[in-house]
Amino acid sequence: MLSNLLNDIGDSEYSLIIDESTDISARKKLCVVVRYPSCKKRRILTSFLGLIELQRAVPDALIEFLERCVKLNVKRCTGLATDGCNTMVGAHNSVISRFRELNPNITHIKCICHSLQLCTSYAMKKLPPHLEFMVAETHRYFANSTLRQQKYVALYATINLLPPYSSE
């Protein structure tokens, strides 16, 4: 199966989507997905390439996996999609910095969900601490009661139907 995938990729340019995780046995893994123009199917395909068990730095493990295990040329990699953690995007010895040493023209795309989460976490640190508690508790108050949700919807509709306040 892997050999068929690698034959289909051939010498084509490709992009990678990678994410690091820890499994239930507390071992770090790196999931690698490849996106490439398929010669056989004549369209762009996205396929699972492998799951790497990490025993050393992510950049080294990923590059070794690509070059030695699956024999893909890193210089043919045109895009890399990652989350925004330091291991992936840091200035020194990150995955993207190592890829740029081998391929300076690579395009890097950070996950918008991870970026948004980092922004909201930073913003919440600038607000009073009780505000985060209030938002979380408000959600919990409504989340487990359909009656409360229905009353909230009715109240919201009523508030939005009232004409704006006028000083006349």
- Asked if residue 121 belongs to a domain, the reply is no
Supply the pTM of this predicted model: 0.68
Give me the CATH number covering residue 51.
3.30.420
Q: Per-residue pLDDT for the chain (168 aa), expressed as one digit of tens each?
A: 888 888 888 889 999 998 888 888 888 888 999 999 998 889 999 999 988 888 877 788 888 888 877 888 888 999 999 987 788 888 888 888 888 988 899 999 988 888 888 888 888 888 888 888 888 898 899 888 999 988 888 888 888 865 544 454
- Cα-based distances in Å from 4 to 35, 63, 70: 15, 21, 11
Instruction: Judge if 132 and 84 occupy the same domain.
Output: no
Sorted by sequence, the CB contacts under 8 Å of residue 49 that are 6+ apart come out as: 5, 16, 32, 33, 34, 70
Domain count, the chain: 2
* 107 and 133 both lie in a single domain: no
d(CA 47, CA 110): 19
The predicted pLDDT at position 72 comes to 85
Nearest to 13 by CA among 64, 65, 78, 62: 78
